[in-house]
């Protein structure tokens, strides 16, 4: 027996419990076979959930398959259905949803995003009264980025500095060190020996690489205090980390791409959204609702509702914080890689973002898959057959890394 929202009824489902209307009268008895007609009656009667079962094991499998397909389809509305990337991704995601349903996952209902009370939120910047510059200026006046990153940068700029000097700066921050060591010891890094000191991590991972990881971890800390009613940070970092893991794995297939740069760029790719949520919570939720209702990607919804996008914000912010140019370039162009100086890097993060959004569907975490131009994907020359093993590898790593870093 399964509890499902009425919108997910597919023909062949059998009512496992009788359904009563709001006035207490019985609408359908237990055992009723459901079809389009019954679905309409239930919808009109304002019923949200029902309990269903199937006639046989075989029919349950085919019903769950249909539900998984229909649920996934909603999130792929915007992307080109003939694009081989999305055909493959769709099939992978349907399989993941099917598995999750078999294990008892309850699909989130259509209106779950609206459940949040938007009324209590007040924007610090009213629409049309503050552009990206004002918002970033305000953000910079509130807090500064963790100092350890800038101290580390200074050490790295000094040509005579050693692994020991780097280790000294990083180790002065115990919480950072713990996270960093957990990260480099994760199977994602595939190191054959256990790394138990920052100095050892520097020699195995590299100076620049390590500083990029420090940057990523510091960013997670910087945004720690966003109130949960504005944004669920666990959900946000789950998506960001997902993107980071995909970006690093994909990057390892390209000789001229640094995996750690891509990991950090993946982790930071949507920080502009955090700044938006902090400063314009009401409008940000409006943007989400607009995107979902009109089935348009977030970028379009932001342009329409706010007049600018999350990458306009992150570009200015990362510049002010003097983040490495490559990372800023990738993050600023992860929705339009052809405009990036480092096109391959931006295209990898765009692909990783699509994968992260798609995978998120199988645990109820997403709005729409943002899409990717076929030309950009073709230029990457990434074999679609590799996507499924990457998704499976990612799924094994995600939750452990998330609890290590957040």
Q: Which is nearer to Fe ion, 63 or 306 (CB)?
A: 306
N-terminal to C-terminal alpha carbon distance within the chain: 36
Q: Which is nearer to Fe ion, 52 or 359 (CB)?
A: 359
Show the tokens assigned to 307: 């007049």
Count of CB atoms within 10 A of residue 292's CB? 20
Element (H, E) at 28: strand 26-28
Minimal distance, residue 312 CB to Fe ion, in Å: 11
**Site residue total, Fe ion (CB under 5 A):** 2
Minimal distance, residue 333 CB to Fe ion, in Å: 10
Stretch that binds Fe ion, among 157-165, 268-276, 317-325, 381-389 (CB under 5 A): 268-276
Chain positions 99 to 158 lying near Fe ion, rule: CB under 5 A, are: none
Minimal distance, residue 179 CB to Fe ion, in Å: 22
300 lies in the site for Fe ion, by CB under 5 A: no
Q: Which is nearer to Fe ion, 211 or 283 (CB)?
A: 283
Q: Which is nearer to Fe ion, 270 or 312 (CB)?
A: 270
Stretch that binds Fe ion, among 4-12, 251-259, 269-277, 391-399 (CB under 5 A): 269-277
Q: Which residues contact 215 (CB under 8 A, 6 or more apart)?
A: 149, 264, 268, 323, 324, 327
Candidates 260, 270, 286, 312; binder of Fe ion (CB under 5 A) is: 270
Count of CB atoms within 10 A of residue 39's CB? 19
Stretch that binds Fe ion, among 128-136, 219-227, 317-325, 351-359 (CB under 5 A): 351-359
How far apart CA 244 and CA 382 sit, in angstroms, is: 17
How far apart CA 166 and CA 162 sit, in angstroms, is: 7
Contact 267, 241 (CB under 8 A): yes
Stretch that binds Fe ion, among 1-9, 270-278, 285-293, 325-333 (CB under 5 A): 270-278
Helix (H, G, I), strand (E, B) or coil at 181: helix
Minimal distance, residue 4 CB to Fe ion, in Å: 28
Stretch that binds Fe ion, among 47-55, 179-187, 312-320, 348-356 (CB under 5 A): 348-356
Q: Which is nearer to Fe ion, 261 or 358 (CB)?
A: 358
Helix (H, G, I), strand (E, B) or coil at 123: coil
Q: Which is nearer to Fe ion, 161 or 235 (CB)?
A: 235
Q: Which is nearer to Fe ion, 205 or 299 (CB)?
A: 299
How far apart CA 117 and CA 282 sit, in angstroms, is: 10
Minimal distance, residue 250 CB to Fe ion, in Å: 15
Q: What is the number of alpha carbons within 13 Å of residue 34 lying toward its C-beta?
A: 29
Q: Which is nearer to Fe ion, 260 or 270 (CB)?
A: 270
User: Residue 53: beta bridge partners?
Assistant: 14
Minimal distance, residue 263 CB to Fe ion, in Å: 15
Candidates 93, 261, 353, 369; binder of Fe ion (CB under 5 A) is: 353
Stretch that binds Fe ion, among 111-119, 195-203, 317-325, 346-354 (CB under 5 A): 346-354
Contact 291, 276 (CB under 8 A): no
Contact 250, 348 (CB under 8 A): yes
5 φ/ψ angles, rounded to the nearest 5 degrees: -75, 150
Chain positions 194 to 213 lying near Fe ion, rule: CB under 5 A, are: none
Sheet holding 14-15, edge to edge: 2-5, 49-53, 14-15
List the one residue out of 137, 135, 109 whose CA is nearest residue 284: 135
Q: Which is nearer to Fe ion, 98 or 223 (CB)?
A: 223
Minimal distance, residue 356 CB to Fe ion, in Å: 6
Give residues in contact with Fe ion (CB under 5 A). 270, 353
């Amino acid at each position: 027996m399964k509890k499902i929202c009425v919108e997910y009824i597919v023909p062949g489902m059998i009512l496992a419990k009788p359904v009563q209307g709001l006035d207490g009268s019985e609408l359908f008895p237990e055992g009723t076979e459901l079809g389009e007609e019954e679905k309409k009656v239930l919808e009109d009667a304002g019923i949200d959930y029902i309990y269903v079962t199937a006639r046989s094991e075989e029919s349950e499998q085919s019903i769950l398959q249909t539900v998984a397909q229909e649920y996934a389809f909603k999130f792929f509305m915007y992307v080109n259905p003939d694009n081989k990337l999305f055909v493959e991704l769709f099939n992978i995601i349907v399989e993941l949803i099917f598995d999750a349903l078999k294990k008892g996952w309850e699909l989130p209902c259509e209106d779950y995003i609206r459940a949040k009370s938007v009324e209590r939120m007040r924007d610090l910047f009213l629409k049309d009264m503050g552009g990206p510059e004002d918002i970033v200026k305000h953000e910079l006046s509130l807090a500064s980025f963790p100092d350890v990153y800038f101290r580390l940068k200074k050490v790295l700029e000094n040509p005579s500095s050693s692994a020991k000097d780097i280790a000294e700066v990083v180790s002065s921050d115990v919480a950072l060190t713990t996270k960093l060591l957990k990260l480099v010891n994760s199977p994602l890094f595939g190191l054959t020996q256990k790394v138990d000191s920052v100095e050892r991590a520097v020699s195995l991972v590299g100076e620049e690489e390590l500083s990029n990881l420090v940057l990523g971890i510091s960013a997670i800390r910087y945004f720690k205090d966003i109130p949960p009613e504005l944004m669920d940070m666990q959900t946000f970092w789950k998506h960001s980390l997902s993107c980071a893991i995909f970006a690093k794995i994909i990057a390892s297939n390209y000789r001229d791409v640094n995996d750690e740069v891509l990991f950090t760029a993946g982790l930071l790719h949507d920080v502009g959204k955090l700044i938006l949520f902090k400063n314009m919570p009401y409008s940000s939720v409006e943007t989400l609702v607009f995107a979902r209702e009109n089935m348009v990607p977030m970028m379009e919804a932001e342009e329409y509702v706010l007049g600018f996008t999350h990458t306009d914000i992150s570009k200015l912010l990362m510049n002010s914080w003097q983040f490495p140019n490559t990372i800023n370039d990738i993050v600023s162009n992860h929705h339009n890689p052809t405009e990036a100086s480092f096109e391959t890097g931006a295209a990898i993060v765009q692909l990783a973002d699509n994968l992260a959004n798609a995978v998120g569907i199988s645990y109820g975490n997403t709005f729409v898959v943002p899409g990717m131009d076929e030309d950009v994907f073709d230029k990457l020359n990434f074999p679609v057959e590799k996507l499924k093993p990457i998704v499976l590898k990612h799924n094994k790593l995600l939750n452990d890394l998330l609890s290590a870093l957040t």
